[in-house]
Amino acid sequence: MRLIVTGGGTGGHTYPALTAVRTLRARLAGAGRALEVLWVGTADSLESRVAAGEGIRFASVATGKIRRSANPLKLVSPANVRDMGRVPLGVAQARRIVSGFQPDVVLATGGYVAVPVGMAAKMCRRPLVVHEQTVRLGLANRSLARRATRVAVSSPSTLPLLPESARATAAVTGNPVRPEVLSGQPEKALQALNLQYFDRRLPTVYVTGGAQGSQQINTVVRDVLPWLLPYANVIHQCGPANLAELRRHTASLPGELASRYLLTGYVGPELPDVLALADLVISRSGAGTIAELTALGKAAVLIPLATAAGNEQAHNARHLEEAGAAVALVGEVTPDRLRDAVAPLLTDPSRRSAMAERARAQGRPDAADRLVDVLLSVVPVNFYEPQR
């Protein structure tokens, strides 16, 4: 089977695509079939590095980024005009790639690079599956939805936002989560991070602003630590660049409290175990984070990134809050607001458990398999038939 995958620019578009590729490859291998993959993205990008690390062939095309603005006049800025001029070039390049590779299906997971490749799939009459990770449709996927053979979405709330022509064949798959995230063990986190002084009678809070950390989250958490630590153990992943400054601020914590506080720049392979240990997560609300927290069934206080494209993180957070599956702190977040959100969840285990169960009800740990089902549904060849 031949697959073109396109999408990238951020991990939110890239890693679900990678998980889908891995799942499809394993599914086909179980039937004695092979998968040939070509990833089409932007040169010198996250997706190019991910593809190289996975041993996936990579081809690049030109892309044009549309900078959003509430002011229509700013949409015709010199930068936008210049980038829009690159779109036809990208489409021509993508058409040559699709025509030459002849994929059985094209998977587009969003980002500006997905637009020319999706358009080329339509021109070359190859099946196109579009996957949307967020509650709201991104700009790229919105433009491709009308051209897609099928659209896969992560939430039922996205279905009404699709063009009417796409709704009949749309599928709610969820957002693919890396299998290793679902197999964490709390005791391994205690050992790997040397957390022997954590009090297991207290809940554990995991604070993260993503791999690079978040100054906003770091600051408000730092300011509530003297209040927070009597109630909880805390693992605080602050980002490598923020580590030294936070160490200076937290050096004066009393010894008993400091023993229940781990400050680290980065959480690597032990992340699944840290998530398994956590009773409450304080984090951003990107699509990948939401998918992991709901698949695991974790109570969460979400602090959306205000500058996220289309304000998508705020929409994600509010969507979970409306379902009782998280607390969303939108707008200005102060230490008092954070304390008021966290306190009921730490002091009332039944409230925390109820939120975790509602989060689990929103999760789809089998999202990758569901997306693979959609991909195979549009392929004209039955790849489960014995080879002749």
In a domain, 28, yes or no: yes
State whether 192 and 161 are in the same domain: no
Quick check: helix, strand or coil at residue 334? coil
Name the strands in the sheet holding 128-132, side by side, starting at the edge strand that comes first in the sequence. 57-60, 36-41, 2-6, 105-108, 128-132, 150-153, 171-172
Kindly state whether residues 188 and 94 are assigned to the same domain. no
Residue 146 and residue 279 in one domain: no
Same domain, 99 and 197: no
pTM above the 0.85 mark?
yes
Same domain (yes/no): 147, 187: no
Q: Are residues 229 and 318 in the same domain?
A: yes
Residues 297 and 344 in one domain: yes
End-to-end Cα, the chain, rounded Å = 15
Judge whether 385 lies within some domain: no
**76 in a domain, yes or no?**
yes
Same domain for 324 and 225, yes or no, is: yes
Q: Within this chain, do residues 113 and 189 fall inside the same structural domain, yes or no?
A: no
Residue 183 is assigned to a structural domain of this protein = yes
User: What is the structure's pLDDT at 79?
Assistant: 59
Quote the domain boundaries for residue 170: 2-177+366-377
Residue 387, pLDDT score: 53
CATH at 61? 3.40.50.2000
Tokens 């997971």 locate to: 109
The rounded distance, in Å, linking the Cα atoms of 82 and 64 is 8
Residue 42, domain member (yes or no): yes
Instruction: Show the 3-state SS of 69-109.
Output: CCCHHHHHCHHHHHHHCHHHHHHHHHHHHHHHHCCCEEEEC
Rg over CA atoms, the chain: 22
- Report the pLDDT value the prediction gives residue 386, as an integer from 0 to 100: 54
Cα separation, 302 vs 326, whole angstroms? 7
CA distance 340 to 185: 30
Q: Supply the pLDDT for residue 81.
A: 56
Question: Which residues are CB-contacts of 364 (< 8 A; sequence separation ≥ 6)?
Answer: 154, 173, 174, 175, 291, 294, 295, 370
CB contact at 8 A, 35 and 28? yes
Note whether 233 and 345 are same-domain residues.
yes
| Residue 45: inside a domain | yes
HSE at residue 178, side-chain half, CA atoms within 13 A, is 13
Whether 387 is in a domain gets the answer: no
pLDDT per position in the chain (388 positions), as tens? 999 999 988 888 999 999 999 999 999 999 999 999 999 999 999 999 999 999 999 999 998 665 455 555 555 566 555 666 667 899 999 999 999 999 999 999 999 999 999 999 999 999 999 999 998 888 889 999 999 999 999 999 999 999 999 999 999 999 999 999 999 999 999 999 999 999 999 999 999 998 888 999 999 999 999 999 999 999 999 999 999 999 999 999 999 999 999 999 999 999 999 999 999 999 999 999 999 999 999 999 999 998 877 788 999 999 999 999 999 999 999 999 999 999 999 999 999 999 999 999 999 999 999 999 999 999 987 776 655 4
User: Quick check: is 79 in a domain?
Assistant: yes
- How many domains does the structure of the chain reveal? 2
Asked if 51 and 87 sit in the same domain, the reply is: yes
Regarding whether 370 and 340 lie in a shared domain, the answer is: no
